[in-house]
Amino acid sequence: MTDSTVRTAIAQARTIVVKIGSSAVTDLNTGIALDRLDVLVDALEARMRAGSDVIVVSSGAVGAGIAPLGLKKRPTDLATKQAAASVGQLKLAQAWDASFARYDRTVGQVLLTADDVSNRAHHANAQRTLDRLRSLHAVAVVNENDTVATNELRFGDNDRLGALVAHLTGADALVLLSDVDGLYTGDPRKPGPDGQPARMIREVAGPEDLDGVIAGTGGDLGTGGMASKLSAARLAADSGVPVLLAAAAEAGRALTDASVGTVFAARPQRLSARRFWVRHAAETHGRVTIDAGAVQAVVGRRRSLLLPGITAVSGGFSSGDVVELAGPDGEVCARGVSSYDADDIAAVLGSSSADLPSDFRRPVIHADDLVRT
Ligand SMILES: Nc1ncnc2c1ncn2[C@@H]1O[C@H](COP(=O)(O)OP(=O)(O)O)[C@@H](O)[C@H]1O
Ligand SMILES: N[C@@H](CCC(=O)OP(=O)(O)O)C(=O)O
């Protein structure tokens, strides 16, 4: 895909997920930046009137809670972040509601936890709610349910949440709106290692276009910085969704003809929903260490994993859980759905194929349930 075909695909996308960063809608000293939010809503409404379904993923709960609580900067400890989010999310939802009300457009708030996406049953639930809001012409405004998320069980950042929501809703494009107007060769706030200013990259067709790019941290309000945007773009690419990264201040053009910012091409063939879930969405429940021959078979030749290739198991996983596969060097090389409980595998480790009871001869992880990382 060329730069212009990716931009055309984004400009013409029927369903589009637009993720808006904290820096775009909040201000450290005043809370929600209502005037900037109105400009964004004008652009989102115009896109809807042109015939697209739009799902908004809005950050800003923590950012919007800082000023009302009299805090001076973005908190770093979990309890204060959650307190700020509980104050800020209310204000954020009200602000989206009021801004869309200028167009008589109804808004629905959807707060998700990582478990709502990693657990397949909950996953269907979230999907149904988002689909129904869409069919009722209401705009879903999605955020992480920060007040109950724990450090262990978080999406990590909303760029990732945006990419997962794009997959969940079968969207045709993901637009990330931030305070930076695209991907640069390095953090645009600093000179590069050669003393030269960073350069903007208009198109990322594949991983080779990221060689030498330094993805730095974010601003005072953001969480993930550029690294989280790059990993979200990879996630979206795996599910066949092209991505546009642009400045929120340029939302009008980003959402009309996609002529601004950086585009990331999607892989032509989507990963199946099951393989996508195994690779990106599911939580892993343990680890299986395999020998060099098994790494060759599984990663090199895309074969199923058989019991004799396993040297160790850890974590109390059960049959049906997703586990990590690590080679002899401890490096994780794949993920897959185990057909056995960890205890059952541990009980027969070291047995030769001939000595294995007959119900242990089927693959531990079938090739269809295995994805390389
Ligand atoms: N290679 C890079 N290209 C562009 N921006 C970068 C890069 N490295 C670091 N950044 C910084 O990342 C910031 C955006 O990330 P973040 O603050 O997390 O945004 P958001 O709140 O929109 O999610 C930009 O303000 C920019 O200064
Ligand atoms: N759920 C958090 C968002 C965290 C986050 O990823 O922020 P950002 O990097 O600004 O997209 C909040 O609403 O504050």
DSSP character string of 144-201: E-TTT--SSS--SSHHHHHHHHHHHTT-SEEEEEESSSSEESS-TTS--TTSSPP-EE
Residues 44-68 have a mean pLDDT of: 96
**Residues 212-220, mean pLDDT to the nearest whole number:** 82
Q: What is the pLDDT of residues 12-52, one digit of tens each?
A: 999 999 999 999 999 888 899 999 999 999 999 999 999 99
In the structure, what pLDDT confidence band is assigned to residue 6 with cuts at 50, 70 and 90? very high
- 190 assigned to a ligand binding site: no
pLDDT higher than 70, residue 333: yes
Contact 33, 26 (CB under 8 A): yes
What share of residues in the chain are helix, strand, coil (percent, to 5)?
Answer: 40, 20, 40
Model confidence at 64, pLDDT cuts 50, 70, 90, reads very high
pLDDT of residue 329: 95
Expressed in angstroms and rounded, the spacing between residue 85 Cα and the centre of ligand 2 is 10
Ligand 2 centre distance from Cα of residue 77 (Å): 15
Higher pLDDT, 22 or 124: 22
Question: Which of 212, 258, 268 shows the shortest CA–CA distance to 237?
Answer: 268
Between CA 151 and CA 15 the distance in angstroms is 31
pLDDT at 152 over 80: no
Helix, strand or coil, per DSSP, at residue 290:
strand
Mean pLDDT over 313-328 rounds to 94
Q: Tell me the CATH number for domain 3-275.
A: 3.40.1160.10
Amino acid letter, residue 113: T
Question: How far away, in angstroms, is 54 Cα from ligand 1 center?
Answer: 24
- Dist CA 28 CA 346 (whole Å): 53
Where is pLDDT greater, at 371 or 193?
371
Ligand 1 atom nearest to 248, measured from its CA: 22
Banded pLDDT at 193 (limits 50, 70, 90)? confident
- 113 CB less than 6 Å from ligand 2? no
Q: Which residue in the block uniquely carries the two structure tokens 């003393």?
A: 195
In this model, does residue 138 exceed pLDDT 80? yes
Q: How far apart are alpha carbons 168 and 239 in whole angstroms?
A: 10
How many other β-carbons are positioned within 10 Å of the β-carbon of residue 297? 18
Which pLDDT band, with edges at 50, 70 and 90, does 7 fall under? very high
Structure tokens at 325: 């596969």
pLDDT tops 80 at residue 340:
yes
Task: Check whether 287 has a pLDDT greater than 90.
Answer: yes
Beta carbons of 100 and 123 less than 8 angstroms apart = no
Q: What average pLDDT is seen over the chain?
A: 91
* DSSP state for residue 210 in the 8-state scheme: G
Burial class of residue 185, CB neighbours in 10 A (0-12, 13-18, 19+): middle
> Is 228 marked as a binding-site residue?
yes
Q: How confident is the model at residue 153 (pLDDT cuts 50, 70, 90)?
A: low
Q: Is 358 annotated as a binding residue?
A: no
Give pLDDT, residue 338: 95
pLDDT for 254 beyond 90: yes
Q: Look at residue 238 in the predicted model and tell me its pLDDT.
A: 86
**Which two structure tokens, joined as six digits, stand for 294?**
């098994």
Q: Residue 121: is its pLDDT beyond 80? A: no
Residue 166 and residue 174 in contact, taking contact as beta carbons nearer than 8 Å: yes
* CATH node for 283-372: 2.30.130.10
CATH topology agreement for domains 3-275 and 283-372: no
Look at residue 222 in the predicted model and tell me its pLDDT. Answer: 67
**pLDDT value, residue 95:** 98
Query: Stretch 276-293: mean pLDDT, rounded?
Result: 89
CA dihedral 220, 221, 225, 228 (to 10 degrees): 160
Cα 91-96-102 angle, rounded to 5 deg:
130
**pTM (two decimals):** 0.89
Share of the chain above pLDDT 90, in %: 69
Beta-strand ranges (E) seen in the chain are 15-20, 26-27, 31-32, 53-58, 107-112, 139-144, 173-178, 183-184, 200-201, 203-204, 243-247, 262-264, 284-290, 310-314, 322-326, 332-337, 370-372
272 assigned ligand-binding residue: no
**348 CA distance to ligand 1 middle (Å):** 50
The answer, yes or no, to whether residue 119 has pLDDT greater than 80, is no
Q: What is the pLDDT of residue 359?
A: 77
Cα distance between residue 327 and residue 330, in whole Å: 5
Say whether pLDDT at 53 is over 70: yes
Ligand 1 atom, smallest distance to 157 CA:
23
With 80 as the cut, is the pLDDT of residue 1 above it?
A: no
